[in-house]
Chains A and B, each alone.
Chain A
Amino acid sequence: MPGKNSIVIRLVLVITFSSAVIFAVTLGYNYYQSRVILQNELESNARNLAMSLVNRVETQLTAVTKVTEGLARSMEISELTEQQFHSLLRATVEKNPEIYGSFFAFEPYAFSAKSRLYAPYYYREKGKIAFDRLENSYIDYPYPYWDWYQIPRELGKLEWSEPYFDEGAGNILMSTCSMPFYKEIDGKKQLQGIVGADVSLDALTEYISSVKILRTGYAALLTRNGTILAHPLKDAIMNETFFSIAEERQDPFLRELGRKMIRGETGFVHYKSLVGFTSWMYYTPIPSTGWTLAVLFPESELLENVRKLSMTMAAMGFGGILLLTLAVIYIARTIIKPLQLLTAATDEIASGNFEVMLPAVRSNDEVGVLTHDFQAMQASLKEYIKNLTETTAAKERIQSELKVATNIQASLLPRIFPPFPDHPEFEIYASMVPAKEVGGDFYDFFFIDEKNLCFLIADVSDKGVPAALYMMVAKTLLKTEGQRLGEPAKMLASVNRILAADNDTCMFTTVFCAILDVTTGEVRFANAGHNPPLIIDSHGARYLTPKSGLMLGAMTETVFTTERLTLEQEGTLFLYTDGVTEAKNPEDALYGEERLLKALQTAPQGDLANMIHYISSEVVHHAGGAPQSDDITMLAIKMKTNNVSMEVAGKGA
């Protein structure tokens, strides 16, 4: 079962994640850009709205300013009688509905030397024009000390007062536009008093408060001191300044913003409104009074459409990604399905079932090609296995045949000991352990006449079947020529001539061949390149040093020499092949001639079979489990001391 690394899961994860990231980035950028565009449009919208409101307010205020200036000019240029300026004041209030009341407030003793203060005041009361004297209504705190009097007096110019509640007029919110008027006395401009007009701000603030921007946006009005004049926070009106709110909220940004406003700056800022929502605010001064008008656009409502659009896009994108995921799953499945079938089929093949049907090739894509290749591979494998089976069968047949050959070869060598029970004057024993099924070594012994025993040991230069066949030839030839010629050197020369004559396979054989006169113990021998044999007698064990001679099968005209020695009573001649001395242990150390010599010195002397088995076990011990690389062949012959029996034997022959 494929786990986390399954192609389907990886494909789905990578594609879904990538497309989600791309989509999110696109959506975010779109939202951000929409906001920027909206904000740019908003700024001009906000400016237009603010300017139209400012114009509305400004028109009213400018009218009052003009009237006030007109009153002051009238007092300055024309010598008005008391009655005249009274009717002027009255007419001013009557004709200007935006003016609540109007007054002339004279400097102390400026109107008359008799009375200190004089300030006629006409104002509206219940739809009619009423009259009062300000010097009488402001007893506790005489009028020359009120802001609307003092400020224009000290500054010498027209001023709009900070809005205030007029308790006498029924607690209405007012602002007074007042300015000084002068009179030329002795060529000097002398301050006569202050002329002013009161304006009720209730209508104005109501108008500003009634402005609704979207659902929760609003317009607000601040005075020159930052006092809240019109604002949805009703409790703050005339109680709080922008700065006291900033102090209460410990908001330095708010204070800095307020300072910009009262400095008469115009600005467009993103900020958290006093009511508590994030908004865009445009603020601008009202020129005549220096007050600030602000319009606030709630950001959440402005961005509502953008947000809705973004939400819709997000939903669509989500659906799209879901669809994409399903599509990816589908595609991946269609790719994976034949792969999975193929995997199942190849699993079967891997477990050895070459007959399983591979899925049919439906498409020409990579999977199709892969399936096709697998089919080809399956066919090749089947063919290969078939061949292998045939080869194995052939090999097995050869093997069994080789076994038979081994048996035949073994049966060719004399294996019955003692071979000549009626010859007690000597003892002979031999053994051959082949390295492969069929060996290249051989030995032989046979009587060529009544008293001469021929014995020999040979080693064919190869092993296996060819060596065995060659050995057969050599053995047969040696036996035949031995019996015909009865002389070792002649035997070898004759056999060599025959073998070398047409030695196409370039096979050779070393031979040590000897003839023992069993009556005298005389041994004639000739060597064809074989290892020197050993002799063990009363002088101890030692190597013979025969003339080396050339191995059989090399050159046609090789000459061999017959040498002689006499085996004394109980003397033994030990023949061996190089399989003994060249037996290797796991460290590749050869058994060697030294070890062989020592082994023979310590070997049991009584029975030749025991001696050969002892040497054999020594060699196996030396090999220490290393595989046998060459045939191990040994032959030993010994003269016996029993003359009686020898004679009996001689007679018997």
Chain B
Amino acid sequence: MSNIWHKNRPHRKQHSLTAVMSALFIACVLALPLGAAETPLKNASLMPMWSPQAQFAGYYVALDKGIYARHGIDLKILRAGPGCSPAESLEKGTADFAILWLTTALQHRSAGTELINLAQIVQRSSMMLISKKTAGIETIDDMDGKKVGMWEGYVSLPLRTLFAEHRIKVREIRQSHTVNLFLRGGIDVTSAMWFNEYHTILNSGIDPDELNVIFLRDQGMNFIEDGIYTMEKTLHKDPALAAAFVEASLEGWRYAFDHPDEALDIVIKRMREAHLPANKSHQKWMLERMRDLMRPVNPQGSVGYLMEQDYEDVGRAMQKHGLIRSFPDYNAFVWRADAGKK
């Protein structure tokens, strides 16, 4: 399966046109470092969605291993975390690129911010609802009237959409970035990301068989998350930069999955710099889950590709529940370097 992370995977032969274009593109990218020696590196900045962790391993690895530099970019990864909004940073122009959830991006786009999806990193939603078995909550309907921990903001859009679809009313409790409120019994259900909070709960001594787990993607809410975004004007100013950035980022991810120990060391170094509790086994879990999440759902699909069907599903669901008024045409929302070359 590992070859799906690489360019030269065999099934490409079925799409000869795509293959030719990809080859042209790769050639173009490979040619870049030659020119890079003469042209100075282009400055660019990235704001991840949250503080350093393996969720963003690909970008830290690409920076640390000089992959961005090789693609002609002098990248700066901005501090993120509580109180930092990557979408606002894009709008204000303090960041050139940002990692956003698709729902967040659509919300901002609907509000008039000209965000463009450069790559869809996560191919399936990892959001889940967790309750203790002792609470006896086995379905979404069982959550009616229960205390459900939800993150603030757009992050909880999929949940609200789901509850609305099931016509149930839950007692929303805004939850912090710890799982302690859930562990102590302050809430019945907690929102969790598969790659993060779920594992934190396990590593607080709760066994998987003591938990009831519902993946939102199994409830028809595949609100796919992390994607690489930029402002339309940034893209128009320098499409080559955007293409190089995406290519370097994906290469960074490939490198991280091929060298997990090295990738974890890089991530943990970043975490220590940010004075964050760094736990290698937790980051290892996160990196492995990112690998699962990035694998294309369709075996013929490619890494980083936003499926039109996924896009339409999320857009329509949000529109239906009044979270957005409208959503743009797929081609207006998504920009691909190879598509641009057509």
Contacts and interface: CB of A to CB of B under 8 A. Distances in A.
B205 A150 contact: no
A186 interface: no
A259 interface: yes
Interface stretch (A151-159, A281-289, A326-334, A563-571): A151-159
A245 to B, nearest CB: 8
B174 A241 contact: no
Contacts of A240: 279, 281
Given A145-B174, A147-B176, A162-B180, A241 B204 contact: yes
A238 interface: yes
A226 B281 contact: no
A155 B205 contact: no
16 contacts: A139-B83, A140-B83, A140-B84, A145-B175, A151-B180, A151-B181, A154-B173, A155-B184, A162-B178, A225-B204, A239-B277, A241-B205, A242-B205, A243-B202, A243-B205, A244-B281
Contacts of A248: 280-281
A155 B186 CA distance: 6
Residue with the greatest number of chain A CB neighbours at <10 A, chosen from B82, B174, B180, B202: B180
For the complex of A and B, 9 pairs with smallest distance between CB atoms? A140-B83, A154-B186, A225-B204, A243-B203, A248-B281, A244-B281, A247-B281, A244-B203, A262-B205
Interface string B166-188: 00000001111010110111110
A572 interface: no
A243 B84 CA distance: 31
A533 interface: no
Interface of B: 82-84, 147, 152, 173-176, 178, 180-181, 183-187, 202-205, 207, 275, 277-282, 285
A258 B204 CA distance: 9
B131 to A, nearest CB: 15
Contacts of A81: none
Residue with the greatest number of chain A CB neighbours at <10 A, chosen from B83, B84, B205, B285: B205
B174 A151 contact: no
A544 B148 CA distance: 151
A165 interface: yes
Nearest to B201: A225
B274 to A, nearest CB: 11
A151 B147 CA distance: 13
Given A226-B205, A243-B202, A167 B275 contact: yes
Interface in A626-648: none
A531 interface: no
Contacts of B84: 140
A240 B282 CA distance: 9
A238 B205 contact: no
A141 B153 CA distance: 12
B140 to A, nearest CB: 22
Given A140-B83, A150-B181, A151-B186, A259 B205 contact: yes
Interface residues of A, number: 35
A83 interface: no
Given A154-B186, A226-B203, A140 B82 contact: yes
A151 B205 contact: no
B31 to A, nearest CB: 43
Contacts, number: 82
A247 B174 contact: no
Contacts of A255: 205
A145 B176 contact: yes
Given A154-B186, A162-B180, A241 B275 contact: no
A239 B204 contact: no
A536 to B, nearest CB: 128
A165 B276 CA distance: 9
Given A162-B178, A225-B180, A258-B205, A239 B279 contact: yes
A142 B184 CA distance: 21
A144 B180 CA distance: 14
Contacts of A561: none
A225 B176 contact: no
A279 interface: no
Given A165-B275, A226-B203, A245-B281, 5 more contacts: A140-B84, A161-B180, A162-B180, A225-B205, A259-B207
A171 interface: yes
A154 B84 CA distance: 27
A103 to B, nearest CB: 17
A180 to B, nearest CB: 12
A146 to B, nearest CB: 6
A313 B186 CA distance: 62
Contacts of A161: 180
A301 B83 CA distance: 52
Nearest to A261: B205
Contacts of A159: 184
Nearest to B285: A247
A239 B275 CA distance: 11
Contacts of B202: 243
A244 B282 contact: yes
Nearest to A237: B277
Contacts of B83: 139-141
A164 B81 CA distance: 17
Contacts of B152: 145
Contacts of A238: 277
Nearest to A149: B176
Contacts of B275: 165, 167, 171
B181 A247 contact: no
Nearest to B284: A248
A155 B180 contact: no
Contacts of B175: 145, 150
Contacts of A258: 205
B146 to A, nearest CB: 12
A146 B175 CA distance: 8
A154 B180 contact: no
Nearest to B174: A145
A154 B181 contact: yes
A54 B296 CA distance: 53
A241 B173 contact: no
